[in-house]
Amino acid sequence: MKRILQVLGGAAAVVVVVLGGAAAVLAANATRPGRPIGVQQVAVADAGRPAVAVTLFYPTETKPGLTWVGSGFADLAAKAPIAPGEHPLVIISHGTGGGPASHLDTALALAEAGYIVAAPVHTGDNFQDPSQVGTPNWMSDRARHVARVSDHLLTRWSGGSQIDPERVGLFGFSAGGTTGLIAVGGAPDLTRVAARCASQPEFVCRLLKPTSLQASIKSPEWVHTPSIKAAVIVAPGLGFAFEPAGLSNVTVPVQLWAGAADDSVPLATNADTVRRLLPSAPEFHLAKGAGHFSFLAPCGATAPLMPRMLCADPKGFDRVKFHKDFNASVVAFFDRTLRGPHEGHVAGSPKASPAERS
């Protein structure tokens, strides 16, 4: 028995050393924003359904500390007050199976630029709970989450007075891109899905439940979010379901991204279809060499903790380098389209006074 305990004790010591070493590596490779960024979590009520958990990133004047976010560390100030001023808001809708850290680098880039960033965890479609993925209400639930989050942050959140309600944007990736299109006025026709999946199946068809592939299925009532004034739509799925006029009511400016090497959401039936159907031409970017998951935050030292496919990119593609340009383009787009009432207004600054507007 003594020998067994010695062996077990030795094994435990090895585990502690390994875990301690891994933690040290992760700490050494922590994300460090260029300015103090605060982080906090809020729960948003969803009318008798499970609350929507939301992680908020925002500029602060509080000194940051090492904080665990997703699968890695970042220098953030937990529960810190928001920096003075009235800030624009961007809601991030993650893809299927994602979470609040899926686009951490993009969220922090926006927060550094003065934005309050809200990253909700879509109930029933996240890394812990996929129960609603592929059901008939999959996308309508997601779109409702966006509306609930926007309403809560603008009207009930304790920091809502520091959000400029005229400068609200949305960033959506993959299923989040589809969610974003619905949020800004889109209405996919689900009766088109069965025929398309039978004749030209793509990845989304494998996610859909049999009840969602019934030819007679009717589209639910889509919940839109009028507060959103601009949207960045990245590698959206179900683009074909917006035929022939499902995007005719989208009036906000859109920045649209697609990966040239994306096998999950084929360009022709998704981003190109969205691009053609939008009433006003979007700012379109085709990322050369990018796969579907290339738009997720670079994995870095956290790669061993992540599913391999989320960190893998097509050969020759540099995700870290790409994201520097990608994030800069996203921030610049929102800076242009969510501009305040005064021509010289910049993100994160106090609103211009009436005298300044004249």
pLDDT at 28: 62
pLDDT at 13: 37
- Residue 186, pLDDT > 70, answer yes
- Let me know if residue 350 belongs to a domain: no
Cβ neighbour number for residue 141 with a 10 Å cutoff: 20
120: exposed, middle or buried (Cβ count in 10 Å: 0-12, 13-18, 19+): buried
pLDDT at 25: 61
Mean pLDDT on 321-332: 98
Residue type, 44: V
Mean pLDDT on 308-314: 93
- Residue 219, pLDDT > 70, answer yes
Cα atoms in the Cβ-side hemisphere of radius 13 Å centred on 299: 14
Q: Taking each helix axis from N to C terminus, what angle separates 175-183 and 138-155, rounded to the nearest 10 degrees? A: 60
pLDDT bin (cut points 50, 70, 90) of residue 231 is: very high
- Let me know if residue 17 belongs to a domain: no
- Residue 20, pLDDT > 60, answer no
- Let me know if residue 16 belongs to a domain: no
Residue 199: domain span: 34-339
Map tokens 């958990």 to a residue. Answer: 53
The C-alpha atoms of residue 191 and residue 215 are separated, in whole angstroms, by 6
Q: Residue 136: which of 240, 202, 216 has the closest Cα?
A: 216
Cβ neighbour number for residue 6 with a 10 Å cutoff: 10
pLDDT bin (cut points 50, 70, 90) of residue 21 is: low
pLDDT at 24: 61
Cβ contact 121:100 at 8 Å: yes
Mean pLDDT on 107-124: 98
Q: Residue 348: which of 85, 22, 3, 8 has the closest Cα?
A: 85
The C-alpha atoms of residue 264 and residue 238 are separated, in whole angstroms, by 11
For residue 276, give both structure tokens. Answer: 């053609």
pLDDT at 98: 96
pLDDT at 351: 38
The C-alpha atoms of residue 271 and residue 269 are separated, in whole angstroms, by 7
User: Regarding predicted confidence, which is higher, 26 or 54?
Assistant: 54
- Let me know if residue 147 belongs to a domain: yes
- Residue 8, pLDDT > 80, answer no
The CATH number that applies at residue 250 is 3.40.50.1820
Number of domains present in the structure of the chain: 1
The C-alpha atoms of residue 9 and residue 28 are separated, in whole angstroms, by 28
pLDDT at 343: 36
- Let me know if residue 73 belongs to a domain: yes
pLDDT at 301: 80
Cβ contact 195:214 at 8 Å: no
| Least trusted range by pLDDT, from 98-112, 206-220, 224-238, 253-267 | 206-220
Residue type, 13: A
Enter the pTM of the model.
Answer: 0.88
pLDDT tens-digit map of 187-206:
999 999 999 999 999 999 99
Map tokens 């540099």 to a residue. Answer: 318
- Let me know if residue 262 belongs to a domain: yes
pLDDT tens-digit map of 120-173:
999 999 999 999 999 999 999 999 999 999 999 999 999 999 999 999 999 999
Share above pLDDT 90 across residues of the chain, in percent, rounded to a whole number = 77
Cβ contact 40:56 at 8 Å: yes
pLDDT bin (cut points 50, 70, 90) of residue 307 is: confident
- Residue 284, pLDDT > 50, answer yes
Three-state DSSP at 33 gives: coil
pLDDT at 22: 52
For residue 287, is it left (φ>0), alpha (ψ between -120 and 50) or beta?
A: beta
pLDDT tens-digit map of 25-42:
656 667 888 999 999 999
Three-state DSSP at 310 gives: helix
Mean pLDDT on 235-241: 97
- Let me know if residue 22 belongs to a domain: no
- Let me know if residue 8 belongs to a domain: no
pLDDT bin (cut points 50, 70, 90) of residue 353 is: very low
Share above pLDDT 70 across residues of the chain, in percent, rounded to a whole number = 87
Q: What one-character DSSP code corresponds to residue 157?
A: S
